[in-house]
């Protein structure tokens, strides 16, 4: 039996590390080839890592919550497969080396040779040992003497060591450097302060004032260009945090996995997309009646007819009426990309953070099939079984927090999509109808949209269209 190291393979494009969330085997266990060994969670999905060979688990090299990189050893197997391949190699040992083999060995020997120091042209032309110039050169190399004019030499001190710069000193130096650079720029202090508050690098601006002086109008015009997608968005650096331990006990928890991915995505979304949110509400008594009457059809197939499932179908119909909300903007290419498919992501709250599985071709499926598929995807998300592909390709997103509570909320667009629908908790409200107040169950809705692509009037029409269908659901939602 030979030992075989099982390493973390590349689990998704662009993923170089992952967090171990579960270890599925123990030392001494016999495993089959392709049997799952551990579960890892990257910033894209949760994945089971299979064994490359059959054998017995000798040593487990990782533990839960470890952050491991692609190529790191997960565990060591005692495997017969490795032994067989090794035996085959031993049989070849007696064979005569071929020309190709000899070539490889020569290359290997050359690689193992220590690299020779390059000889400068000056050294090549140096006089031989024993001359006065050679003696000077030798002393110069030792750092004891240095040639000066007239052929004489004088002693010099050894090369001073580079000082060690502490992080706080480096940070202070960087801040002083930034202030110095700002002082060199022709702009008043109030203009510099405005640029800093907006996250704009003043050295990127062209001043319109006398002698190129930067004015407040220049800063505001540049900020407007960024919002309209014409200018380059500045990269804002996080200011350093204070030492919170000065005021009490603290605990530091690594930012990793889904939480780290969420932090990156939301920052990109907020810094890239000019968000606007429109609010509306819909009376849902007929939706609740539909759920009560048709839920058994979904349950027969293992699903559940929820408000989110119904909204999936309604939103798909709305996106066909308003295609700009199913688009993306390519600022660099100066194009609008209109998607002919309708794949809707649904935000799912899990113990590890927010995951967004995608229901594909929503417009081509009936309500019962959507209910079943959404139930399956939600369960996979909560159990950490979603694949990377099941979270890719969304063209619109729905986020329903009604089961938790709240009257309304604004939500971040899932970049590079154009919009996201937020759903809060339905509430019984007095609605004035035909001269009197009547109690109605109202569902708060919010639509966050990319103002570069979508005007406020179009966003209002889109959300009102959805509200109208909620208040008068069509039978074709079930039958088609």
What sign for the dihedral angle of Cα 127, 128, 130, 134?
Answer: positive
> What is the pLDDT of the chain when averaged over all its residues?
78
DSSP one-letter string for 80-144: HHHHHHHHHHHHGGGSPPPHHHHHHHHHHHHHHSPPPPPPPHHHHTPPPTTSHHHHHHHHHHHTS
Task: Return the minimum-mean-pLDDT range out of 332-341, 421-430, 466-475.
Answer: 466-475
Q: Which CATH class is domain 276-479?
A: alpha beta
Say what the pLDDT of residue 188 is.
78
Would you place residue 258 in the very low, low, confident or very high pLDDT band (cuts 50, 70, 90)?
Answer: confident
Say if residue 127's pLDDT is above 50: no
**Helix, strand, coil fractions of the chain, as percent rounded to 5:** 40, 25, 40
CA distance 271 to 203: 20
Say what the pLDDT of residue 14 is.
65
Task: Select the CATH number that applies to the domain covering 2-90 from these four: 2.40.50.100, 3.30.420.40, 3.40.50.300, 3.90.1150.10.
Answer: 2.40.50.100
CA distance 427 to 177: 56
Say what the pLDDT of residue 363 is.
94
In this prediction, residues 148-164 reach a mean pLDDT of 44
| pLDDT tens for each residue of 259-292 | 777 787 888 888 889 999 999 999 999 999 989 9
Locate the domains of the chain by residue range: 2-90, 173-227, 276-479
343 part of the active site: no
Most confidently modeled range among 80-84, 156-160, 201-205, 453-457? 453-457
Q: 173-227: what fold?
A: Dihydrolipoamide Transferase (4.10.320)
276-479 shares the fold of 2-90: no
In this prediction, residues 199-217 reach a mean pLDDT of 79
| pLDDT tens for each residue of 318-349 | 999 999 999 999 988 889 999 999 999 999 99
CA distance 172 to 84: 61
The SS3 of residue 298 is helix
């Amino acid at each position: 039996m030979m030992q075989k190291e099982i390493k973390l393979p590349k689990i998704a494009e662009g993923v170089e590390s992952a967090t171990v969330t579960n270890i599925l085997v123990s030392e001494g266990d016999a495993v089959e080839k392709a049997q799952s060994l551990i579960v890892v969670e990257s910033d894209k999905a949760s994945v089971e890592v299979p064994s490359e060979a059959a054998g017995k688990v000798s040593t487990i090299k990782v533990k839960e919550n470890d952050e491991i990189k692609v190529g790191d050893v997960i565990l060591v197997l005692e495997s017969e497969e490795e032994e067989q391949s090794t035996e085959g190699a031993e049989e070849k040992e007696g064979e005569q080396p071929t020309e190709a083999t000899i070539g490889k060995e020569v290359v290997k020997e050359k690689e193992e040779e220590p690299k020779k120091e390059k000889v400068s042209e000056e050294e090549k032309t140096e006089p031989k040992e024993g001359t006065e110039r050679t003696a000077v050169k030798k002393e110069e190399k030792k750092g004891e003497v240095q040639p000066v004019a007239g052929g004489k030499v004088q002693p010099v001190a050894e090369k001073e060591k580079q000082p060690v710069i502490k992080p706080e000193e480096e940070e202070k130096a960087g801040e002083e450097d930034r202030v110095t650079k700002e002082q060199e720029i022709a702009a008043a202090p109030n203009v510099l302060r405005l640029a800093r508050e907006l996250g704009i690098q003043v050295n990127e601006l062209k001043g319109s004032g006398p002698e190129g002086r930067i004015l407040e109008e220049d800063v505001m015009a540049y900020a407007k260009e960024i919002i309209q997608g014409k200018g380059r968005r500045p990269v804002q650096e996080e200011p350093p945090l204070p030492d919170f331990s000065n005021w009490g006990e603290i605990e530091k928890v690594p930012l990793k996995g889904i939480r780290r991915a969420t932090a990156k995505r939301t920052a990109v979304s907020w810094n890239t997309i000019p968000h606007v949110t429109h609010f509306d509400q819909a009376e849902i008594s007929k939706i609740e009646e539909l759920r009560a009457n048709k839920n058994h059809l979904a349950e027969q197939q293992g699903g559940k007819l929820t408000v989110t499932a119904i909204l999936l179908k309604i939103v798909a119909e709305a996106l066909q009426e308003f295609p700009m909300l199913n688009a993306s903007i390519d600022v660099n290419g100066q194009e609008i990309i209109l998607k002919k498919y309708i794949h809707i992501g649904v935000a799912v709250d899990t113990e590890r953070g927010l995951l967004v599985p995608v229901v594909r071709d929503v417009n081509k499926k009936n309500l019962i099939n959507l209910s079943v598929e959404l139930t399956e995807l939600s369960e996979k998300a909560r159990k950490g079984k979603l694949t990377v592909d099941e979270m890719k390709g969304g063209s619109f997103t729905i986020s329903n927090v009604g089961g938790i509570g709240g009257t309304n909320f604004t939500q971040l667009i899932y970049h590079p999509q154009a919009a996201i629908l937020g759903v809060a908790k339905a509430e019984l409200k007095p609605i004035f109808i035909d001269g009197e107040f009547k109690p109605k169950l109202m569902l708060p809705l919010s639509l966050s949209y990319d103002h570069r692509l979508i005007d406020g009037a179009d966003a209002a029409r889109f959300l009102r269209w959805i509200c109208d269908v909620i208040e008068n659901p069509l039978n074709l939602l079930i039958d088609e």
